[in-house]
Amino acid sequence: MADPILELTDVQTHFPIYSGFVRKRLVGTVKAVDGVTLAVERGEVLGLVGESGCGKSTLARTIMQLVPLTGGTVVLNGKNLAANSATEMRETRRGMQMVFQDPYASLNPRMTVFATLAEPLLVHRVCPAAEVPARVARLMETVGLAPRFVQKYPHEFSGGQRQRIAIARALALEPKIIIADEPVSALDVSIQAQILNLLAQLCRSMGLSLIFIAHDLSVVKHISDRVAVMYLGKIVELGTAEDVIDRPRHPYTRALVSAIPTPNPDVERARQRLVLPGDPPSPIDPPAGCAFHPRCPYAQEKCKLAVPPLIADGPNREVACVRLGEI
Amino acid sequence: MPLLTVTDLRTWFHTRNGVYRAVDGISFGVERGETLGIVGESGSGKSVTCYSIMGLIPQPPGRIESGTAVFDGVDLLHCTPAQSRAIRGKRVAMIFQDPMTSLNPYLRISEQLIEPLRIHEKISRRDALTRALAMLEEVGINDAARRIHLYPHEFSGGMRQRVMIAMALITKPELLIADEPTTALDVTVQAQILELIKKMQRELGMAVIFITHDLGVVSGLCDRVQVMYAGRIVETSDTRTLFYSPKHPYTRALQRSIPSMQAKGTELFTIPGMPPDLSKPISGCAFAPRCEFAVERCHREIPHLEPVTPTHTQACLRVQAGEL
């Protein structure tokens, strides 16, 4: 843990819920992200997995400062983002960029590829205006698009190509870290593989760090160095991709891994599946103690008493389960 | 005698930009109690096939150009509206990908659940409600007696899909068509829904057509699989054969591009290029421009499905010629 590019300490993002039309009263809080501590190394790919509603996208938006932080600190490249002034923030944003899930919604349909890619260059005055066309062409080549398509509009491209444009836009400011929120979930299998290859190759060649958010564990395992598993706003397991996915320790991770269907009929039919009952609980009113205990097959009385902290389990491995040694 | 026999089905869409051949001459059958998986990428025609069988193709722009779909002696594509009403929704039911948009947000779950019963079985409202309640419990909804009176927005995604399944199965259909029913759900909920479909299938002895793009889902659920590409079937066989000895280059490529089948850190195998534009006539094999084995003949001759073994057919000219 020598040189982290991004350090999160006890990050919390809570959303207040108001009731009443004229006189608004605070009736509760959605604890979307509730105490996440995490570090991302330079050049590292960190996979972030969890079910919908577990807070993984909110965490991404919190890091990007797209939603206000309730508590904790986000330190990018040695700088605490909360202490930044507006001018500093503008500079800081160059260092981190985001790629969104839906390439149909995240590109402006009225802007050509050129306009989309030139905008960040012009806003941040990265280079003289005369050099912009050449930079745009280079960006397009980087992501595997022919520069002759520069005057086309997003609707003229397929889903995979649009996601390439979104990646090029994120790369325009030469960031240190990219946060990709489910970048391949909307794409077909054969196109998914192309985008994954592109992301992996970019990380290697440019020394980029990447936070890769997905719900497909096999995709995450392929691309990530380390994986963090989230449940109801908290990280429940953290470790190398092989450890977490091939030898999961937390009961939730086990259930998640066991739920992935494998494309191998003999294995698939022979395996004992751990099917979790019910849906994830509401983050407005999380269960006492370990938030997973109502669905956990190993839950005991002591699981309901206190929130289990993340404890080290061997090198590079942290698990938040009080029954860790027993199961 | 199969339960459903589709022969030479062609569904084309006549749009301003040309004729889009979404389904272009496919034939297949489903036996009683069998699970058939239909696999393919977006735009391969797998959903249009099932929409055609269910009579859900908007006409115009769609048009069923040719073909028959014979269900238990009745051709669903050319029968009288009365015949069709007696079968669709009762003996053949369908569930859709997005449980958010396929339930009516203005009606209570109870109204939506008893509608098929009231239409098809002419039973009293009270009896229908009793059946609906039993069905909701069957699909694993806790506290069903209270929840039956709620509206769809009060349910989570997985629960809505359970309601959809209850609605489809309440008339005890002989054939269930499931169009990507788990794509919009989390893996843990997907596992629950797949278990539920398997359980209901065992109890009712119905046949299932399961449309998906996820080969992993197919491997655990389906007896037989057919792979579609550009509106045609390129390979069909029992599940084990398709996974362990696929013949068609597209099936093989599809399998190789799954991340979990490949060593970590290696470059993922990808199929170059994109699926063809179906509004333009395709000469020869539709997959040839992306196929690593394509020769000149593949671009010229239209391939047809031919058996490899009695239960395994595929449509690659070079495999048929024994070259691959």
Report the pLDDT averaged over residues B163-184.
Answer: 87
Q: How far apart are CA B128 and CA B134, in angstroms?
A: 10
Which fold would CATH assign to domain B4-91+171-261? Rossmann fold (3.40.50)
Burial class (CB in 10 A: 0-12, 13-18, 19+), A84: middle
Inform me whether the pLDDT recorded for B85 exceeds 60.
Answer: yes
Q: How far apart are CA B138 and CA B144, in angstroms?
A: 10
Quote the pLDDT of residue A80.
87
Q: How confident is the model at residue A10 (pLDDT cuts 50, 70, 90)?
A: very high
Burial class (CB in 10 A: 0-12, 13-18, 19+), B73: exposed
Quote the pLDDT of residue B194.
87
User: What are the boundaries of each domain within chain B?
Assistant: 4-91+171-261, 104-170
Report the pLDDT averaged over residues B272-295.
Answer: 86
Chain A residue numbers touching B229 (CB-CB < 8 A) = none
- Residue bearing the bigger pLDDT, B239 or B282: B239
Inform me whether the pLDDT recorded for A323 exceeds 90.
Answer: no
Inform me whether the pLDDT recorded for A1 exceeds 60.
Answer: no
CA quadruple B183, B189, B192, B197: dihedral positive or negative? Answer: negative
* pLDDT tens, residue by residue, A118-146: 999 998 888 888 999 999 999 999 898 88
Q: How confident is the model at residue A216 (pLDDT cuts 50, 70, 90)?
A: confident
CA quadruple A279, A284, A288, A290: dihedral positive or negative? Answer: positive
Q: Which of A54, A188, A216, A231 to mutate to test the interface with B (most CBs of B within 10 A)?
A: A188
Quote the pLDDT of residue B207.
93
Quote the pLDDT of residue A236.
93
Q: Which of B188, B198, B244 to mutate to test the interface with A (most CBs of A within 10 A)?
A: B188
Tell me the shortest Cα–Cα distance from A45 to chain B, in angstroms: 12
Quote the pLDDT of residue A59.
93
* pLDDT tens, residue by residue, A282-309: 778 888 888 898 888 888 888 888 888 8
Average pLDDT over chain A, rounded to whole? 88
* pLDDT tens, residue by residue, A253-281: 998 888 888 888 888 888 777 778 777 78
The residues in B 253-272 lying below 8 A from A, measured between CB atoms, are 253-255, 257-262, 264, 267-271
Report the pLDDT averaged over residues B99-127.
Answer: 87
* pLDDT tens, residue by residue, B126-143: 999 998 998 888 887 878
Which fold would CATH assign to domain A4-42+50-86+218-319? Rossmann fold (3.40.50)
Tell me the shortest Cα–Cα distance from B182 to chain A, in angstroms: 12
* pLDDT tens, residue by residue, A159-175: 888 999 999 999 999 99
User: What are the boundaries of each domain within chain A?
Assistant: 4-42+50-86+218-319
* pLDDT tens, residue by residue, A45-100: 999 998 888 888 899 999 988 888 898 999 988 888 888 888 888 888 888 999 98
User: Cβ of A255 and B188 within 8 Å?
Assistant: yes
Q: Which two tokens stand for residue A108?
A: 């402006």
Q: How far apart are CA B81 and CA A34, in angstroms?
A: 57
Laid out side by side, the sheet with B306-309 consists of: B92-95, B175-179, B207-212, B35-39, B224-229, B232-238, B312-314, B306-309
Indicate the range of A74-88, A105-119, B37-51 predicted with least confidence: A74-88
Convert chain B into a string of H (helix), E (strand) and C (coil). Answer: CCCEEEEEEEEEEEECCEEEEEEEEEEEEECCCCEEEEECCCCCCHHHHHHHHHCCCCCCCEEEEEEEEEECCEECCCCCHHHHHHHECCCEEEECCCCCCCCCCCCCHHHHHHHHHHHHHCCCHHHHHHHHHHHHHHCCCCCHHHHCCCCHHHCCHHHHHHHHHHHHHCCCCCEEEEECCCCCCCHHHHHHHHHHHHHHHHHHCCEEEEEECCHHHHHHHCCEEEEEECCEEEEEEEHHHHHHCCCCHHHHHHHHCCHHHCCCCCCCCCCCCCCCCCCCCCCCCCCHHHCCCCCHHHHCCCCCCEEEECCEEECCHHHHCCCC
Amino acid identity, residue A123?
V
Q: How far apart are CA A92 and CA A87, in angstroms?
A: 9
Average pLDDT over chain B, rounded to whole? 87
Tell whether B274 is within 8 A of chain A (Cβ).
yes
Chain B residue numbers touching A219 (CB-CB < 8 A) = 259
Report the chain A residue with the minimal C-alpha distance to residue B222: A265
Chain B residue numbers touching A263 (CB-CB < 8 A) = 215-216, 218-219, 243, 255, 258, 260-261
Q: How confident is the model at residue B266 (pLDDT cuts 50, 70, 90)?
A: confident
What is Dmax (Cα atoms) for chain A? 68
Indicate the range of A308-322, B76-90, B211-225, B250-264 predicted with least confidence: B250-264
Report the pLDDT averaged over residues A222-247.
Answer: 91
Q: How far apart are CA A9 and CA A15, in angstroms?
A: 19
* pLDDT tens, residue by residue, B49-60: 999 998 888 888
Tell me the shortest Cα–Cα distance from B220 to chain A, in angstroms: 5
Name the residue among A189, A221, A261 with its Cβ closest to that of B220. A261
Inform me whether the pLDDT recorded for B247 exceeds 80.
Answer: yes
Report the pLDDT averaged over residues B63-67.
Answer: 89
Q: How confident is the model at residue B232 (pLDDT cuts 50, 70, 90)?
A: very high
Quote the pLDDT of residue A2.
62
Report the pLDDT averaged over residues B25-47.
Answer: 90
Collapse the DSSP code of A230 into the 3-class scheme (helix H, G, I; strand E, B; otherwise coil) and give the result: strand
Report the pLDDT averaged over residues B305-313.
Answer: 89
